[in-house]
Structures are given as structure tokens and as C-alpha cells.
Amino acid sequence: MMTLPLVSTVRARSVDVPMARPLRTASGSIPTAPLLLLDVVTESGVVGHAYLFAYSRLMLPAMTAIVGEVASGLAGRSIAPTRYMHDMRREFRLLGTQGLLGMVLSGIEMALWDAFGKTVDQPVATLLGGAPVALRAYDSYGMVDLPRDEAALRESVESGFQAVKIKIGYPDADHDVAVVRRVREIVGDDVELMVDYTQALDPPEACRRIRRLRDFDLYWVEEPVAAEDLAGHSFVRRATRARIQTGENWWFPEGCRAAIAASASDFAMFDLMKIGGFTGWMLAAGQAHAASLPVSSHLFVEASAHAMAVTPTGGWMEYLDLAGAILQDPCRPVDGHVTAAGPGLGITWNEAAIERYAV
């Protein structure tokens, strides 16, 4: 019987990489992607990779320090990722695992899966009981700048995307309506259109604004109010009858449970870094299945494509290129679909680019 290799060390490197499309949102702009690159080095020589999105460059040093502390307890342990996650959550029960610690634990868990997959020369989707499949994806935009982004939107549709998401929540509600109207004209009626308020509104204002978007056949309205305001999401859902999407800020499967209990969402959106890696994703996916909620991914295209391949109520993948600039073979959509690569997570670093964008 094969035994899994033991962890030797965990390395973390900080980069700040240019994005194909800088992300403008109603709650702040992200011109470049501050990423923490993780390498789990095993005693067999296999190295597992994963990356984390720090949102702000200011968080990179703190996350690096947490990796160092968590890694010291990992040396000599089996790479078995699910056991690792359960043990870590128990170990940090009193502190709690939301925030930077949870992000680091999830990132290491993803890198352990990558090491596991490379050890047995299989994609993670296969280890999870499925196989890589072509998953329909939506092209994810920030706040668009019209008419400058018109060509890009047309290109999204021409390249095969059957769904597009834009961020709205401009200071002036009329601006929201004008942008959504224009984007609907550009992409046409056959393409699904989602909008994302990135938590910018309060419930009364969200109701007022969403009612004005009734005519544009929106597939979902994402995070109209603060992510942690589950009652607010539920209120907006009932008051507007719009299909509400939320979930990218649910922490671990317990976050999913609370949102379902509050009837906060018509969909579920898991972020591998916040839901607790693949271990958390699978537990949350079971809840979404039981509640008949279609599941979408958030960021982390390469890794999410493995999880989505085994998610029973898997819906639209998000396609947003966060790390393409530092990857050897970035995950590229084909005819609006994304397919997981392997072995492991299919992540190979572009070392020259990492050096160029090192923080």
C-alpha cells in the first residue's frame, strides 16, 4: 500500500501582479493582484503549489508570518489534506478561523491537494471522485468603462461566453441603469447578464435600485448589501423578488449554513480561500445540494475548476484571470468553458515572472 509523503517545509512568496483587467468595484479598486504563492515541499521531493489573494498588499507580510507559524507544526505530517484541515480547525477552535488565519489554512490545504495529485499523477478532480470536465463560465468584469470596454464585451460574447457579469453601484443610481441598459444592448438578449454591487448598498437603497433594473432580465444580483448582513440579503430578496447571489464571503461551511438558514440567497458562491479549501467546499456543496442552490465559484479559476467538477449543483464558474501573469500555463477559457488541468491543481509557476513582480 502506498503511503502519502510527509511535509518537509512550506514556503511563501509575495507578488503583486498586473491583471488583464484591473478590477473597479463600488467598494474600492484593485489595480493589481497582491498574491501569496505557497509551496508545500514534501520529503519525497514533490512540491505542492497554491496561491492566495490578499485583496490588499498591506496584508502580505502578516499572511507570510502566519504561514511560517502554521508550517512549523506541519513538518513531518502526512500531506493528507482533509485530515489537516479538520485538525487545524480543531487546533484553532478558541481563536476561530475567520480572516487571515482561515485564508492561510485554506491555501495550505489547496497546496496539499496539489502535492497529493502530483504524488499519484492525477488531477485533484479525479481524487475527489470525478474528472476534469468543461464547465460553463461567465466572463467577470469590474465596473465597466463605456464606451472604452464595449469592444471587450463584444469580444467576450464572440469568444463563446454565454454569460457576463459587471459590477455596478455607482454613486448615482441613474448611472447604474444607464450602464446595465447599454451592456444589455451590447451583449444581446441571448447572453445571461449578472450584476454585482460588491456590498455597496443598505437594504432600502438596494430595493430602490434593484426595482429600477427589472427590465433587463438579470440572471442574478450579487451582494447588494454587506456580506455579513444575511437578514438584509433576505429582506432584499423578498422585497424585490430579484434572484440574489451571495457567498463569496462565507467563512467555512458554517457560513453557508447560516446563509441558508437565513434564506439569504437564491444561489451559493464559494471562494476556496474562505470556505476552507476543498475540504470546506465539499462540506458546503453538500449543504447547497440539500437546499437546491446552484453553486458558483469565486476567483481561483485553476483550483475551482476541480471543485466545480464534483459539485452536484454546480452552476456558472467565474472566469476572472487573477494569477495568469505568474503562471506557466494559465487556465484559458475555450468557447466560454473552463476545464481543470492536472496533475494536482495544474498550477506551474512562471519563475521569471515571479521574480519580476516580487514584493
**x-or-dash pattern for Mg ion, window 214-243, by CB under 5 A?**
--------x---------------------
Among 114, 139, 176, 196, binds Mg ion (CB under 5 A): 196
Rounded to an integer, what distance in angstroms lies between the CA atom of residue 32 and that of residue 129? Answer: 35
By C-alpha distance, which of 186, 185, 143, 187 is closest to 163?
187
Q: Is 289 a catalytic residue?
A: no
- Cβ at position 76, least distance to Mg ion in Å: 39
CB nearer to Mg ion: pick between 139 and 222: 222
Q: Which is nearer to Mg ion, 149 or 248 (CB)?
A: 248
Q: Smallest distance, Å, CB 359 to Mg ion?
A: 25
Residue type, 158: E
Minimum gap (Å) between residue 39 Cβ and Mg ion: 29
**Minimum distance from CB of 167 to Mg ion (Å)?**
7
Whether the Cβ atoms of residue 199 and residue 227 lie closer than 8 Å to each other: yes
Query: What DSSP string describes 273-291?
Result: HHHTHHHHHHHHHHHHHHT
Q: Please say if 298 is a catalytic residue.
A: yes
Dihedral sign from CA coordinates of 268, 320, 150, 158: negative
Nearest to 107 by CA among 88, 90, 120: 88
Residues 290-309 touching Mg ion, rule: CB under 5 A, are none
Give the interface segment with Mg ion, choosing from 85-93, 144-152, 194-202, 303-311 (CB under 5 A): 194-202
Q: Which positions from 22 through 61 interact with Mg ion, judged by CB under 5 A?
A: none
Q: Which is nearer to Mg ion, 11 or 24 (CB)?
A: 24
For Mg ion, the closer CB: 222 or 302: 222
# chain residues binding Mg ion, by CB under 5 A:
2
**Least gap, CB of 90 to Mg ion (angstroms):** 31
Q: In what order do the strands lie in the sheet with 28-42?
A: 7-25, 28-42, 47-53
Residue 358, C-beta contacts closer than 8 angstroms, at least 6 positions apart: 13, 14, 15
Q: 49, 165, 298, 306: which is the annotated catalytic residue?
A: 298
Taken in order 328, 333, 339, 340, is the CA torsion positive or negative? positive
Looking at beta carbons only, is 125 or 299 nearer to Mg ion? 299
Q: Which of 165, 167, 274, 306 is catalytic?
A: 167
Closest residue to Mg ion, Cβ-based? 196
Nearer to Mg ion, 222 or 321 (CB): 222
- Asked if 139 touches Mg ion (CB under 5 A), the answer is no
CB 210 within 8 A of CB 235: no
| CA–CA dist 261, 328 (Å, integer) | 42
The number of residues making up the chain comes to: 359
Contact (Cβ atoms closer than 8 angstroms) between residue 52 and residue 35: yes
Minimum CB separation of residue 198 from Mg ion in Å reads 6
Binding string, residues 144-183; x marks residues near Mg ion by CB under 5 A: ----------------------------------------
DSSP 62-83: HHHHHHHHHHHTTTTSB--HHH
Contacts with Mg ion, residue ranges (CB under 5 A): 196, 222
Residues with a known catalytic role: 167, 298
